[in-house]
Amino acid sequence: MKKVVGHFIDGEIVEYNERTQDIYDPALGDVAAQVALASKETVELAIASAQKAFPEWRNTTPLKRARVMFRFKELLEENRDKICYLLGKEHGKILHDAAGELQRGIENVEYACGAPELLKGEYSKNAGPNVDSWSELQPLGVVAGITPFNFPAMVPMWMFPLAIVCGNCFILKPSERNPSTTLFLAELLYQAGLPKGVLNVVNGDKEAVDLILQDTRIKAVSFVGSTPIAEHIYAKATANGKRCQALGGAKNHAIIMPDADMDNAANQLLGAAFGSSGERCMALSVVVAVGDQAADALIEKMTLAMKDLKVGAFDNTANDFGPLITKQHQEKVLGYIDSAQDQGASIVVDGRGLQVKGYEKGYFVGATLIDNVKAEMDSYKAEIFGPVLQVMRVEKMQQAMQLINDHEYGNGTCIFTRDGEAARYFSDNIQVGMVGINVPLPVPVAYHSFGGWKRSLFGDLHAYGPDGVKFYTKLKTITQRWPTSGVREGANFAFPS
């Protein structure tokens, strides 16, 4: 009988008699474990636990909340190898990639450690005669996060550390495809001294998500995933009176200018397009080359470099990337490569049919390079989410920018150039939320905020950083006056000024 991954409620791992779903080892293509899918009763237990813990936690000083996060950071670093192993085993990403993901998550914990500074508010003495005014950032209550399979360590740490240090209690619903990493993070946080009920983890599918969206005890929902689901979650959450930030899909373009350092661009694109098998919302999936000379030079260098890429299991750090998450997703990615070919694009490097010795049943797709892609092709319109890089050819930079601005997604983009004027014009006028100049994966550091434009983000506030503090708190402004002893004032019917 396979191990069943349960939930984390009220400070301990629990497993109820519920529906289960298989968890696969994507490199082997075999069932590795099962995960319990939360019932209505389980979700309600988690919410009740969080609600019970909230009054005491909200009144815990920001300094004491921060001390829990400082210890949590230490435990994450002490358990780095185990976390990366769990990550690789269920997701498939190579250990060095898992270590990078974990480090970016730790940086968000470090930012949360600044809670006493982040939550200070503002104070104005004598805003009026003997009148003082100040602002406070108060917690919302019980809040929830719904996170994707591709970053089971980092994305949850975009959410719960900051929400918790802001005084909220958190319900986390990770991806049911690879839940073990997230569950282990919860265990470490309680080892760090977090009181029972402040963080609860429920594993589940759509049933659990719908319950989270409907329950009036949950005041806010943060989500990362595909655009259709992000749009659904935003609509349902806001219709039920919740604050919501829902981060959706992407189609990230890189413009290659004729003056670009082609060797550097090719090397940067290898990791940005094929790292983590392209299963990143910031993966660069389209190159828009300005001029045939730039396109031909880049394709020549990419073709040569791609021959040396190594694909295989997560625990061999000589590998560059691993399998896709499921058989169904593998078939979807292969279908987009087929459609590009059928619609007139040229397959320069073909990753279809890849067999990895000893892992013949694994969900592998090799690095694929496609030339002469057009805007009307299905492979261009969709977020492929696989190790596929497509090349489009235009004559002018303005045409490249128009392609990007016309696309429904606006998550990340970059330009490779030596021309400062072109770079400045690009960054000023491109309609995308995160922009890189010779930086292919412009993921903001933890003390900035992450989020795209257009149909890549639903909601007004981006994830983590300063926007994260705003999302997980509500502003209260207090105005105070103490009348002078013995002085009686008359009524004043004019608006105070």
Q: Are 256 and 298 in contact (CB under 8 A)?
A: yes
Catalytic: 281? Answer: yes
Per-residue tokens: 41: 């009763």
Residues 144/212, Cβ–Cβ less than 8 Å: yes
Q: What beta strand segments (E) does 308-386 contain? A: 346-349, 368-371
21 within 8 A of 176, measured Cβ to Cβ: yes
CA–CA–CA angle 109, 218, 205 (5° rounding): 80
- Burial class from Cβ neighbours inside 10 Å (0-12, 13-18, 19+) for residue 438 reads middle
Give me the residue label for tokens 């000023």: 428
Q: Choose, from 84, 113, 281, 414, the residue flagged as catalytic.
A: 281
What are phi and psi for residue 341, nearest 5 degrees? -65, -45
Instruction: Name the residue among 43, 58, 60 with its Cα closest to residue 9.
Output: 43
Beta strand 284-290 with 252-256: parallel, antiparallel or unpaired? parallel
CB 452 within 8 A of CB 292: no
What is the rounded distance in angstroms from the CA atom of residue 418 to the CA atom of residue 479?
54
Integer Cα distance of 411 and 281 in angstroms: 8
Query: How would you label 33-48 residue by residue, b for 16+ Cβ within 10 Å and e otherwise?
Result: bbbbbbbeebbebbbb
Query: Quick one: tokens of 186?
Result: 């919860």
Within a 13 Å sphere around the CA of 364, how many CA atoms are in the beta-carbon half?
A: 25
Q: Which residues are catalytic?
A: 281
